[in-house]
Structure 1
Amino acid sequence: MRLVRTGSIALLLVSLLAGCGLVSSSGTFHDASLPGGERPLDGAKLVVTSKSFTEGVLLGKITATYLAAAGAEVTDLTGAPGSASSRQAQLNGDADILWEYTGTGWVNYHNETETIVDPKELWQQVHDIEKRDYNLEWLPPANFNDTYAFAASGPTAQRLGVESLSDVAALPVGDRTFCVDDEFFSRSDGFLPMLTKYGIPYNDPNGVPAGNVTRMDAGVVYPATAKSAPCNFGMVYTTDGRVKNLDLTVLDDDKKYFLPYSGTAVVRGAIIEEYPQLRTLLGTISERLTDQLMQDLNGRVDIDGEDPSDVAYDWLRSEKLVE
């Protein structure tokens, strides 16, 4: 029955992806082995899924490649369209392992509104809820945080003397110009409450006048910020490859407004009980993942056009985790 279910959902995801005009990435990870030929997962059958955006797919490919190298028979369902399908596949028992974000669990899955600024405390809260309600095990988080931030071009940050959002708040009104996308502008935990937190309320002549804010597509924010036109400061995601590629300076959220979005491997409880060695194996991956590394890996896909499977395999080899 397990093979039938995983096969069925694989076909479903392939058809969904095709219907969206995308090519399924299912099953496209590299064969490898652990150094020394160890096979701690010999005999295990695991289904790895991911969301469809670059970082999610990369994390899924890294996981699928590494666990298969450890001896597991891995079904690769990376690239599921939208957050709901990968999440639902795991809740249904059709997928075993999925990389998630603590902020997503807290806000999107459990509708919590309290901002918990300590990443470990937020992870613990999400871990406990997910374990209690869904028997999902959120393993200790990785060392990267894919959260919202504001950035400026290197020359602009130096010219204005800014390193933090409080520094931005201290600038003359005319220098407080922002580029944001519509979604972030309208979020209840987005742009407008952030300005209030930093004492520069929106549509206020002494804060941030409406004319100082340009709303545009998220993808256009990065080059606009790099050119400092029409804005000095743009909303970015901290692990996006364009941050490094465009030499943007990410400003410190010194008042801790933004919720942490720590990347975390989530495993079904029944699976972690059957294969407790997954804790060590997935921990070996998590402890190596940093903001800068994810910027590099994401950039290789989004900017250089490399295949996520190749990037995942190359990184695992560079870390001497597989051969």
Structure 2
Amino acid sequence: MRRTSIALASIMALVLSLTACGLQSGGALPLPVKPGSITVQPDLNGQSISVGSKDFTEQVVLGYILGFSLAAAGAKVRDMTNIQGSNSARDAMASGQVDVLIEYTGTGWINYLGNEQPLPDATDQYNAVRDEDLKRNDIVWVDPAPMDNTYALAVNKANAAKTGVKTLSDYAALLERDPVAATTCIETEFRSRQDGYPGMAAKYGFNPADAKIQILQTGIIYQAVANGNCAFGEVFTTDGRIKALDLDVLTDDKSFFPHYNAAVTMRADVNKEFPSIAKVMAPVMAKLTSEEISELNRQVDVDGREPADVARDWLVKQGFVTV
């Protein structure tokens, strides 16, 4: 496969950087699959394709859904899921370390392309990021899914009743009058992202420096909110732990957070060489509603199942692959 030509020194710097972020050389998929409704494609048959993902539950599940689908189509898939952080995953794909991964439209629009204002319509948002990323960076976006995993703040039932907070405007008002009552747990990336806490503070008119913030790992925040150790906490709206822990999601009444529809992304050279990637993934991505991915996330985070098992079982249930 063709790779972007860059200087040896840049390659070594990139490898060292990505290794430090947890990106290794990759290996085979942990489970075998056979064709189902996905059939072997001539352009993919026997070809090496590296599939990446970020390092949180939903992304790893999506990475395996992508990897198993391409394996059923005949590709020799190299498993490079679980890359630490959005920027590292994006850099790995853009540089040629990873060939294909599933990304979110809001992340692409705000974080990678540097736009400050999201588009309120999900289709318009996808079309805009697709067109601009191809024009500026030779990155192709295909097969947007109906699932929309946006950011939110959540609260447990007791604190919701105690504070009366139901919307982000209510949260901003509480923070101004009683910052201790509005103690909020977030993870490091959300604290610095323009589509995260700083941007939300600007939209809702409060000073983030006044907030009582605790930094926790993403997976810990849900239980900390449920236990009341954090009055409020950052969540992903498709996370199965919201329902399992009976949390309330605050309404984004000023529509700050962008749409984060998942879509397949790859470099233009990969798309040109392997056009069947988009063909294979179109029906798979169409099945990935917010409800479907929430259930898959719940199986991992609540039931303790392995992401690869969850991803393969879902593909088998849908008839895309066999075992």
Specify if TM > 0.5: yes
1:206 aligns with none
Q: Quick one: distance in 2 between partners of 1:114 and 1:53?
A: 25
CA separation of 1:190 and 1:48: change in aligned 2, threshold 3 A:
closer
Shift of 1:155: 5.0
1:191 aligns with 197
Shift of 1:198: 3.7
Q: Quick one: distance in 2 between partners of 1:239 and 1:153?
A: 17
SS in 2 for 1:266: strand
Shift of 1:75: 2.6
Instruction: Please give the residue correspondences for 1:90-101 in structure 2 after superposition, counting only pairs within 5 Å.
Output: 90-101=93-104
| Aligned AA (2:291) | Q
| Aligned AA (1:311) | V
Q: Quick one: distance in 1 between partners of 2:194 and 2:158?
A: 32
2:240 aligns with 241
Shift of 1:65: 0.6
The reply to whether residue 273 of structure 1 matches residue 276 of structure 2 is no
Shift of 1:31: 1.9
2:126 aligns with 123
Instruction: Please give the residue correspondences for 1:65-76 in structure 2 after superposition, counting only pairs within 5 Å.
Output: 65-76=68-79
Uncovered stretches (5+) of structure 1, i.e. residues with no partner: 204-208
Q: Quick one: distance in 1 between partners of 2:65 and 2:227?
A: 34
Q: Quick one: distance in 2 between partners of 1:37 and 1:105?
A: 28
Deviation digits for residues 169-191 of structure 1 (CA, Å, limit 9, x no counterpart): 67795596241337445555443
Tell me if structure 1 keeps the 8 A contact 2:65–2:315.
Answer: yes
Among all aligned residue pairs of Structure 1 and Structure 2, give the percentage whose two residues are the same amino acid.
37
User: Of 182, 189, 211, which aligns to 1:177?
Assistant: 182
CA separation of 1:308 and 1:23: change in aligned 2, threshold 3 A:
farther
Tell me if structure 1 keeps the 8 A contact 2:23–2:80.
Answer: no
SS in 1 for 2:253: coil
2:319 aligns with 320
Q: Quick one: distance in 1 between partners of 2:142 and 2:100?
A: 11
1:227 aligns with 227
Quote the RMSD (CA, aligned, Å): 3.7
SS in 2 for 1:285: helix
More displaced 10-residue stretch of structure 1: 246-255 or 71-80 = 71-80
1:27 aligns with 28
SS in 1 for 2:315: helix
| Aligned AA (1:177) | A
The reply to whether residue 43 of structure 1 matches residue 45 of structure 2 is yes
Q: Quick one: distance in 2 between partners of 1:134 and 1:230?
A: 40
Tell me if structure 1 keeps the 8 A contact 2:2–2:269.
Answer: no
CA separation of 1:226 and 1:23: change in aligned 2, threshold 3 A:
farther
SS in 2 for 1:259: coil
CA separation of 1:216 and 1:93: change in aligned 2, threshold 3 A:
closer
CA separation of 1:299 and 1:124: change in aligned 2, threshold 3 A:
same
| Aligned AA (1:257) | F
Q: Quick one: distance in 2 between partners of 1:169 and 1:180?
A: 15
1:78 aligns with 81
Instruction: Please give the residue correspondences for 1:101-116 in structure 2 after superposition, counting only pairs within 5 Å.
Output: 101-116=104-119
1:311 aligns with 310
Shift of 1:150: 1.2
1:145 aligns with 148
Tell me if structure 2 keeps the 8 A contact 1:56–1:99.
Answer: yes
| Aligned AA (2:77) | V
Shift of 1:265: 0.6
Shift of 1:161: 6.2
- TM normalised by structure 1 equals 0.78
User: Of 123, 132, 136, which aligns to 1:133?
Assistant: 136
Q: Quick one: distance in 2 between partners of 1:312 and 1:52?
A: 15
| Aligned AA (1:249) | D
Q: Quick one: distance in 1 between partners of 2:158 and 2:267?
A: 47
Shift of 1:156: 4.5
Uncovered stretches (5+) of structure 2, i.e. residues with no partner: 6-10
Shift of 1:256: 0.5
Shift of 1:138: 0.3
- TM normalised by structure 2 equals 0.78
